[in-house]
């Protein structure tokens, strides 16, 4: 662990930016069709529950990283194995998200720039910031949060002023019953983006006021969830479900539909700022978690020795995890939620908490 402290306010902002990172931009929860927003809302509920699990674990071990307390809960060997798996998980997701953002940028604006260059550039900036430590990452978040929210409000106002919103597009609600919605929640929106908060278990020990973790985390998840819901509602009501389901970046299409006074149009740059800032924090936090986890597990002193090797690992695996974008997407839909998100976000933390509760009861009795 590095010597650093962040405030609950900064944690709130990091969670907010992290959640919004990709969820704002991609077509999220669309297997629930017009009720995607409902699926996101329910997913947020699930995310809040997950957060309570993580926070309960943190309460048992407020000063140490998960990579260490896993060893205390399940014993040295199993704990180390688990911690190692988590590191792989974080690195893999960091690489995945990096690939996602690279592909997005390539399709959206840079069709002639090699993917590798785009990824390398983004990762270079992340490595630079992470190198400065979690405090700097958090402070950068504070400033960019203001910018992002400012843009979001302007964007929202412009959409409303342009008279694009057709709330009819959202009706009928629950056309095919609650079934598809629940299915979407369980297979999709619970994990992305809400379950991904698991990465913040690696950040909790840096809090300067541990008591406020719960409030900061819950409000962070709730606010970001509501923002994603609003975005999805706006997307569907502006574009209609059919268009959204065919679009790769619904938000971009919504923004492109804005036209005010024949001058305020083509505000793609808003989308780009949101895209890059979000991606920056999402990958940055995953990368940071993997980094301190590795340093903690393998007892390496000083992050700077690990940062370049791990950065290269993320960069190259982002290029090699899939041979094409469609393969990448298929992996993301079929493989990752079931075999990675579900165990790492839900099952393992829940089991750990169970064991921790039992162990601590025993201790109290003795």
Give 161 or 333: the residue with its C-beta nearer to other proteins. 161
Looking at residues 144 to 163 of the shown chain, list those that interact with other proteins (rule: CB under 8 A).
144
Residue from 1, 151, 186, 268 touching other proteins (CB under 8 A): that is 268
Interatomic CA distance for residues 137 and 198, integer angstroms: 18
Helix axes 134-161, 213-246, angle to 10 degrees: 50
CA gap 46, 219 in Å, rounded: 14
Candidate list 77, 167, 177, 262; residue touching other proteins; CB under 8 A: 262
- Residue closer to other proteins by CB (options 265, 331) is 265
Using the contact rule CB under 8 A, the part of the chain among 136-144, 148-156, 291-299, 313-321 near other proteins is 136-144
Residue 101 and residue 268: Cα distance in Å, rounded? 16
Written as six digits, the tokens of 100 are 């996602």
Of the pair 133, 250, the CB lying nearest other proteins is at 133
CB of 305 to other proteins, least distance (A): 19
Distance of closest approach, residue 212 Cβ to other proteins, in angstroms = 15
* From candidates 88, 273, 329, 342, binder to other proteins by CB under 8 A: 273
| 113 is a contact residue toward other proteins (CB under 8 A) | yes
User: What are the C-alpha distances in Å from 135 to residues 18, 20, 211, 257?
Assistant: 16, 20, 19, 38
Q: Give the shortest CB-251-to-other proteins separation in angstroms.
A: 16
Closest CA to 25 of 271, 342, 321: 271
Show the DSSP H helices in 109-212 as ranges: 115-131, 134-161, 179-184
For other proteins, the binding residues in 302-321 under the rule CB under 8 A are none
Cβ of residue 136: shortest distance to other proteins, in angstroms?
4
Q: Is 248 in the site for other proteins (CB under 8 A)?
A: no
Rule CB under 8 A: say whether 249 interacts with other proteins.
Answer: no
Q: Is 167 or 263 the residue whose CB approaches other proteins more closely?
A: 263
The minimum distance between CB 175 and other proteins, in angstroms, equals 36
Tell me the C-alpha distance between 37 and 30, whole Å: 9
Nearest residue to 109 via CA among 252, 282, 263: 252
Distance, in Å, from the CA atom of 77 to the CA atom of 90, rounded to the nearest integer, reads 20
Question: Can you tell me which of 59, 212, 219, 265 binds other proteins, judged by CB under 8 A?
Answer: 265
Could you tell me the smallest distance in angstroms from the CB atom of residue 278 to other proteins?
11
55 binds other proteins (CB under 8 A): no
What span, in angstroms and rounded, lies between the C-alpha atoms of 277 and 141? 9
Cα distances (angstroms) measured from residue 194 to each of 41, 44, 94, 100, 221: 10, 6, 16, 18, 7
| CB 285, min distance to other proteins, A | 14
Interface with other proteins (CB under 8 A), residue from 60, 84, 110, 325: 110
In 3D, which of 14, 65, 110, 53 has the Cα closest to residue 299?
A: 65
What is the spatial distance between Cα 195 and Cα 55, in angstroms, rounded to a whole number? Answer: 13
Name residues contacting other proteins, limited to 3-42 (CB under 8 A). Answer: 7, 9-10
Binding site for other proteins (CB under 8 A): 7, 9-10, 105, 109-110, 113, 118, 121-122, 125, 128-129, 132-133, 136-140, 142-144, 262-263, 265-269, 272-273, 276-277, 280
């Amino acid at each position: 662990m590095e010597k650093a402290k962040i405030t609950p306010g900064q944690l709130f902002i990091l969670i907010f930016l992290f959640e919004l990172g990709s969820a704002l931009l991609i077509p999220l929860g669309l297997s629930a069709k017009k009720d995607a927003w409902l699926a996101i809302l329910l997913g947020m509920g699930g995310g809040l529950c997950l957060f309570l699990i993580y926070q309960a674990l943190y309460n048992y071990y407020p000063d140490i990283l998960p990579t260490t307390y896993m060893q205390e809960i399940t014993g040295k060997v199993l704990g180390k194995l688990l911690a190692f798996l988590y590191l792989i998980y974080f690195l893999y997701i960091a690489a995945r998200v990096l690939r996602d953002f690279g592909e997005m940028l390539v399709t959206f604006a840079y069709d002639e720039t090699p993917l590798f260059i785009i990824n390398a550039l983004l990762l270079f900036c992340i490595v630079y910031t992470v190198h400065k430590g979690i405090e700097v990452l958090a402070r950068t978040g504070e400033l960019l949060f203001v910018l992002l929210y400012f843009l979001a409000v302007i964007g929202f106002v412009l959409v409303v002023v342009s008279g694009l919103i057709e709330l009819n597009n959202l009706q009928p609600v629950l056309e095919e019953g609650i079934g598809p919605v629940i299915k979407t929640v369980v297979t999709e929106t619970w994990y992305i983006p809400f379950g991904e908060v698991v990465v913040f278990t690696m950040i909790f020990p840096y809090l300067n006021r541990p008591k406020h973790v719960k409030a900061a985390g819950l409000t962070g998840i709730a606010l970001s969830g509501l923002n994603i819901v609003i975005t999805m509602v706006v997307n569907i009501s502006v574009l209609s479900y059919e268009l959204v389901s065919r679009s790769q970046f619904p938000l971009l299409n919504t923004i492109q539909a804005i036209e005010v006074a024949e001058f305020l149009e083509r505000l793609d740059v808003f989308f780009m700022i949101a895209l890059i800032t979000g991606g920056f924090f999402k990958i940055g936090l995953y990368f940071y978690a993997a980094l301190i986890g590795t340093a903690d597990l393998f007892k390496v002193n000083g992050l700077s020795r690990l940062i370049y090797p791990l950065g290269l690992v993320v960069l190259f695996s982002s290029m090699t995890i899939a041979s094409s974008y469609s393969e990448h997407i298929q992996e993301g839909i079929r493989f990752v939620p079931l075999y990675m998100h579900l165990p790492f976000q839900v099952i393992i933390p829940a089991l750990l908490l169970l064991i921790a509760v039992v162990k601590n009861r025993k201790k109290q009795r003795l």
